[in-house]
A = this chain, B = another copy of it.
Amino acid sequence: MSEITLGRYIFERLHQLKIDTIFGLPGDFNLSLLDKIYEIEGMRWAGNANELNAGYAADGYARVKGISAVVSTFGVGELSLTNAIAGSFAEHCAVLNIVGLPSVNAQAKQLLLHHTLGNGDFTVFHRMFKNISQTSAFIADINTAPQEIDRCIRDAYIYQRPVYVGLPSNLVDLLVPSSLLETPIELSLKPNDPEAQEEVIETVEKLIKEAHNPIILVDACASRHNCKREVAKLVDITQFPVFTTPMGKSGINESHPRFGGVYVGSLSRPDVKAFVENADLVLSIGALLSDFNTGSFSYGYKTKNVVEFHSDYTKIRQATFPGVQMKEALNKLLETVENAVGPNYIPAPVPQQKLINSPAAPDALLTQEYLWTKVSSWFKEGDIIITETGTSAFGIVQSRFPNNTIGISQVLWGSIGYTVGATCGAAMAAQEIDPSKRVVLFVGDGSLQLTVQEISTLCKWECNNTYLYVLNNDGYTIERLIHGQNAGYNDIQPWNNLQLLPLFNAKDYECIRVATVGELNELFANPAFAVPDKIRMIEVMLARMDAPANLVAQAKLSERTNAQM
């Protein structure tokens, strides 16, 4: 074939990047486009239950595989994605947001089509998306379409942000040269300015040489911008204690002897707080310092000795080096840092986490404290662990991840319901990588209700690698802690959650309810339960106002900020 359709072209490009599941919903402006997915061996159309969930799924898939794609239809489909796409923008996830548009001809005539605002304006939704996209293309010309698509894929990957591509329904069947596919899309970062980088390395090494108590602090963008390997090496070579933020959790192997815990400003464990704030040098990697990630900006270390490595700049103390990207800078630093570690530095023992519960009677009711302490023992190397904004995202901070864990939590954007969709995306990505890889979701009963139908997609694809822990605490506990403990608006309609898997026609499944310490211990001790051979829902019964201590403290800080004059 010397020519292929434009529709096939875009999916071949994605296939080259190992994007083999495409998320989204059909709509009449994208149907011809979707036909092309079936032409490519090994590629599948997820067929989500709604667009918001599809967007969340694409975000989850991108966090596992580095980039993803979602397809929706003009107007009604794409607008349902805005929340998910904004989340991917805020949290640095590469999602190609492909929208099936009306034909070029219909647009030119300003036809009063369905799925329009009725005012002949066909660019309005594109304009809205520009606010939450790294770049975009509103394709109208078949001749430049392949380059435009390549540019969009490239920018999504490089910047790890969502990118909008509008494809008119009549263009997807037009032909483009298939030889274009022979040149891979250029995905490497542009090199740093050598002089600026040299100055950065020199200054950092000088600071390292002088430091007595240096630490490394790993945040979200280390994972998202593909620097986990560099961070691990830096720790190995320097033997500096390494901490993560809540959002950065899983950015470093937590079994590493130099791993010291999770730093959340004033909400950290006291030993972690003291250790971090006593540091005379902080090497911060990929920071995203939002309120929930920092205990409401309660960082206690001194900015005078902080080096911030970011995806697009470096900051040393008060000096900014625009364009010095962390990936290359860290690799450069790794070449010589061994010699920079000075005689002042004597590796001190790092704080140790409590991972064993105080003894409790088997019939004692489960608590958040017990759950989050116990759960570490059940995690396995390679797990993907997903925690919803709420008690889960805060509770998980006190667990320890095994090596090679992928942690997924929307700490900055914090859209409740996100994780159910993200679990779908992560589970389908895991199926592609290794079917024995477990995907473990912790979601509250309140958040589950927003996006529950995506469990149906897990059933459709027989994602038997998923464990869905539903923490049933009778409503929006995180909000009860912030404001309105007994307010009606924090109540939800109670559901019979364990009826969900049969309702959705799950094939191999198991439904379990645990309410006591004994039941949880038994479950985690059961080796059969640990084998990912069916979809499992585990409803964990917890008291209404029981919450991880760090969430209780954060909630108080948030209420104060919201009321502030």
Contact = CB atoms under 8 A, between A and B. Distances in A.
Interface string A263-292: 000000000000000000000000011111
Given A504-B495, A564-B103, A489 B47 contact: yes
Interface in A483-533: 483-484, 487-496, 499-500, 502-505
Given A28-B479, A45-B488, A82-B128, 10 more contacts: A27-B479, A34-B489, A51-B83, A52-B52, A86-B117, A114-B413, A115-B413, A124-B131, A173-B563, A460-B493
Nearest to A34: B489
Contact of A117 (B132, B291, B451): B132
Contact of A562 (B79, B103, B490): B103
Contacts of A52: 50, 52, 80
A18 B328 CA distance: 62
Contacts of A365: none
A507 to B, nearest CB: 11
A151 B161 CA distance: 38
A564 B168 CA distance: 10
Interface string A128-171: 10011000000000000000000000000000000000000110
B565 A170 contact: yes
Which 3 A-B residue pairs are closest in the complex by CB-CB distance? A76-B415, A79-B83, A31-B483
A482 interface: yes
A369 to B, nearest CB: 23
Interface string A426-456: 0000000000000000000000011111001
Which of A50, A51, A289, A456: most chain B CB closer than 10 A? A50
A413 B76 contact: yes
A201 interface: no
Contacts of A131: 124, 127-128
B493 A459 contact: yes
A306 to B, nearest CB: 16
A111 interface: yes
B484 A563 contact: no
A32 interface: yes
Contacts of A132: 117, 124, 128
Contacts of A128: 82, 128, 131-132
A404 interface: no
Contact of A499 (B104, B113, B452, B502): B502
A116 B289 CA distance: 12
A174 to B, nearest CB: 9
Contacts of A493: 49, 456-457, 459-460, 504-505
A318 to B, nearest CB: 19
A278 B79 CA distance: 42
A533 B49 CA distance: 31
A261 interface: no
14 contacts: A28-B482, A31-B479, A31-B487, A32-B562, A34-B489, A80-B82, A80-B415, A103-B561, A112-B412, A113-B291, A118-B290, A127-B131, A128-B132, A495-B504
A35 B453 contact: no
A375 interface: no
Contacts of A453: 449-450, 452-453
Contacts of A114: 290-292, 389, 411-414
Interface string A165-194: 000011001000000000000000000000
Nearest to A456: B493
A316 interface: no
B494 A505 contact: yes
A407 interface: no
A170 B79 contact: no
Interface in A302-320: none
Contacts of A173: 563
A350 interface: no
A378 interface: no
A87 interface: yes
A4 interface: no
Contact of A489 (B26, B82, B459, B562): B26
Contacts of A415: 75-76, 80, 115
A355 interface: no
A228 B487 CA distance: 41
A111 B297 contact: yes
A460 to B, nearest CB: 4
Contact of A38 (B37, B487, B500): B487
A496 B491 contact: no
Contact of A500 (B45, B115, B503, B564): B503
A553 interface: no
Contacts of A505: 493-496
A266 B248 CA distance: 60
A105 interface: yes
A107 to B, nearest CB: 11
Interface string A77-95: 0011011001101110000
